[in-house]
A and B are shown apart, each in its own frame.
Chain A
Amino acid sequence: MTNPVIECQNVWHIYGGSVTAVQDVSLKIYPGEIIGIIGQNGSGKTTLVKHFNGLLKPTKGKVLVNGRDTGPMRVQELSASVGYVFQNPNHQLFARTVEAELEFGPRNLGLPEDEVIDRREKAIEFFGLEPLRHSHPYRIGFPLRKLVGMASVYTMRPAVFILDEPTTGQDNVTTRIVYRLIHRLRDEGSTVLCVAHDMILLAEVVERMVVMRDSLLIADARPREVFSDRALMGSTHLLPPQITELTLRLKEQGKLPQVSLSVSESLDVFAPLFGGKSEGGQA
């Protein structure tokens, strides 16, 4: 079996010697996994993922990245393999133009200049930043600034990509760019950790969900199982996507064997009820 790319061994994080943010979390993340990390603000999810790129070190326990203990490692050493896109892009952006921002990472990795420019251009195209290439990152609106934050991490092509609330404040068009990013990262074999409250996004893109509550990891399962567990969802005040809620109500009445995670999935289930084509689905 492949080795985990990230492994937490009984990780604790206690801020200022008194505030326990993460309690005894053990977790293995394998290369290529797409994982959602959910829970309320203050549940410990951001604290947990900040251990993966060395921004935080455990108070107790160990975090291994590619088998190496992060304890003695610096953020700079880890940033080539673990990219972290902050929830607030202001914590991350510093260059004077979007172009310069997108060149910084690859140049810092020591890549040749033509590769630096190539990565910059690919990121501009993928994230739709062409009209903003000469703008100062702080002079563009918050949602687009977040895309610049994602783009700048993408230029580094880290093996592990951590997205913290990527769709917060985004409208449907920019949210779609986030979907495409996660799909592309999956196709490229990257490991993606997505900390999010956006259940529609998670239901459609992740294969595994880690649920945090009050500094504890309380569940680690497939999204279909997590969303079907009303007690679990209720205890974290999270609501499943509307289509999942609908199919969950039908499942609870014994009418459906399992919930749907997306509208597309639900079409296969419902089409036959209305004399429509099931298109070889699961109906």
Chain B
Amino acid sequence: MSGEKPILEIKDLTFTYAGAETPALKNINLQIFEGEYVALLGLNGSGKTTLQLCINAVIPHMIMGDMEGSVTVQDLDTAEYPTRELAKIVGVVFDNPEFQLSQMSVAEEIALGLENLGVAVEEMNPIIHEVLDIVGLSGLGDRSPFELSGGQQQRLSIAAALAMRPQILVMDEPTSNVDPIGKEEVFAVAAKLNRERKMTVIMAEHEVEVMAAYANRIIVMDHGEVILNGTPTEVFSQLDVLEKAGLRVPQVTEMAYRLEHDRSAHWNSVYPVTTEEAFQRIAPLFGGKHD
């Protein structure tokens, strides 16, 4: 990706919440490129949410504190542009769908954001139809958001964010309050947007096995700092560093690591991060038939 211009650039970012003694973010430097699917890992309180609030300019405009360094989104310095302007570039989905839903119907929920952007009423309907279609909620426009399942509510939150035509979708543990079907739905929609529309996705998430399958980059935060930044294979191979930070790695990665370190086994290749990678490495060793 060298030579290409990042869609998001964070330089020497340090942020301390008003009244706090220690910074929530310490000297963060990151470049994120268009079309990346970035997973943010870290314990609760490690700075993931604060970092996301800096990306959508809620920090420094709506939350008090001391910010040093810069965050640049599509060439716009977030310190100089209001959150409302950034909302056209950065869409946000929070962990609790009920937290961001307020309207009487699914369609109104989407219209609310468009209204704030000053979109004319007659232009709203096609947009509403389009974004509901993208997230698989076509035909539910008249429903109350509160009658939807958890997975549907989160997909509605995504649709509402998409209506603003963002280029970056920031998601803060979007599946922590939905059941397994809902998780599948939300991850599938995020993956589809990333794959088919080159949407840049930045997702904070605890489920490392899922992130290993979807993300092309993993950023690990610990006590306000970025401690690892690389491909899933590069990052999860650093099992000792992650464990020290209180985090786990995908089960198949741990399996390969422990075979080498605890059982004197010769894995002799990079550690797998997905089931498929592990299967490809192991299945031929059994001999006999394999397909």
Contacts and interface: CB of A to CB of B under 8 A. Distances in A.
A263 B250 CA distance: 10
A242 B282 contact: no
B265 A275 contact: yes
B197 interface: no
14 contacts: A41-B182, A168-B176, A169-B176, A171-B206, A172-B206, A172-B247, A173-B43, A174-B44, A246-B278, A253-B290, A263-B255, A263-B258, A267-B255, A267-B263
A41 B184 CA distance: 14
A131 interface: no
Contacts of A17: none
Contacts of B255: 243, 263, 266-267, 270
B180 interface: yes
Given A169-B176, A172-B43, A173-B43, 6 more contacts: A253-B291, A267-B259, A267-B263, A270-B265, A274-B268, A279-B263
A254 interface: yes
Interface in B256-291: 258-259, 262-268, 275, 278-279, 282-283, 285-286, 288-291
B248 interface: yes
Contacts, number: 116
Contact of A238 (B180, B248, B265): B180
B179 interface: yes
Nearest to A167: B206
Interface in B70-125: 95
Interface in B164-183: 173, 176-182
A108 to B, nearest CB: 31
Contacts of B181: 40, 237
A245 B210 CA distance: 13
A266 B253 CA distance: 12
Interface in A230-283: 237-239, 241-243, 245-246, 249-250, 253-255, 263, 266-267, 270-271, 273-279
Contacts of B149: 41-42
Contact of A171 (B246, B263, B279): B246
A104 B289 CA distance: 63
Given A242-B250, A250-B279, A276 B259 contact: yes
Contacts of A273: 265, 282, 285-286
Interface residue tally on A, bucketed by range: 35 or more
A72 interface: no
Given A200-B251, A267-B259, A276 B44 contact: no
B264 A263 contact: no
A8 to B, nearest CB: 23
B254 interface: yes
Contact of A243 (B45, B252, B265): B252
Given A242-B275, A255-B286, A171 B264 contact: no
Interface of B: 42-45, 95, 149-150, 173, 176-182, 184, 206, 209, 246-248, 250-252, 254-255, 258-259, 262-268, 275, 278-279, 282-283, 285-286, 288-291
A266 B275 CA distance: 13
A146 B209 CA distance: 24
Contacts of A208: none
A233 to B, nearest CB: 10
A246 B267 contact: no
B110 to A, nearest CB: 24
Nearest to A244: B251
A249 B283 CA distance: 9
A16 interface: no
A242 B209 CA distance: 7
**Max chain A Cβ within 10 angstroms of own Cβ: one of B176, B264, B282:** B282
B70 to A, nearest CB: 29
A249 B150 CA distance: 31
Given A243-B255, A263-B254, A250 B286 contact: yes
A237 B247 contact: no
